[in-house]
Chain A
Amino acid sequence: ETGVTQTPRHLVMGMTNKKSLKCEQHLGHNAMYWYKQSAKKPLELMFVYNFKEQTENNSVPSRFSPECPNSSHLFLHLHTLQPEDSALYLCAVRAGGLEDTQYFGPGTRLTVL
């Protein structure tokens, strides 16, 4: 248990659907991240939020829309996705301090039909 939860754990959606992924942290840290993990590829950083402000958008298509309403919650809104967007989406929280370790949630496995 890392103190980072993600819902849903699995999601199947059509290309015309709109859905949202949710990340919640109970660690009290200020930096939150979305990563995408596709098969046979390294983790790709998508977005970074620091103190609820987006500080990084790693050239992510606009069909992915993040939202950070408070320091405990991070959302990823999805609309008109493509089959190649099927992947594991991981949320992480940065602990700060000397090590600055990132702790991950269990991920949402997304399948786009």
Chain B
Amino acid sequence: AQKITQTQPGMFVQEKEAVTLDCTYDTSDQSYGLFWYKQPSSGEMIFLIYQGSYDEQNATEGRYSLNFQKARKSANLVISASQLGDSAMYFCAMRGRAGTASKLTFGTGTRLQVTL
């Protein structure tokens, strides 16, 4: 079984500052993938970034980077230069081995509020 834990129900960050959203995971799979999604108040779930368990380098996508520490089973999302539009719910998710009908397990999310 897989489990995702997000311990921060809510976070505040000032505009233009960086923020780290925590995510820890538990799995017995050797091969797995980790994802972060953003969910604005409108409801859509927007894919942000992916990290494979065998990737040696941390993933980056524009202002998003994933701080992957495999031994600690953590996959924290770092958002640099926060913008007001970053205010949303953020979900960490994982899947097992890529392949047929792979399923995602989601955490409970962190609500990020960017302030002026």
Contact = CB atoms under 8 A, between A and B. Distances in A.
A43 B43 CA distance: 12
Interface in A73-101: 88, 90, 92, 94, 96-101
Given A48-B101, A55-B101, A56-B103, A99 B43 contact: no
Interface residues of A, number: 28
Contacts, number: 66
Given A42-B108, A98-B52, A90 B101 contact: no
Interface of B: 4, 33, 35, 37, 42-47, 50, 52, 91, 95, 98-109
Top 9 nearest A-B pairs (CB, nearest first) are A104-B45, A100-B98, A106-B44, A107-B43, A43-B106, A55-B101, A50-B101, A42-B106, A99-B50
21 contacts: A2-B47, A42-B105, A42-B109, A43-B104, A45-B103, A50-B101, A55-B100, A90-B45, A92-B104, A96-B98, A98-B98, A100-B95, A100-B98, A102-B47, A102-B104, A103-B47, A104-B37, A104-B45, A104-B46, A107-B43, A107-B44
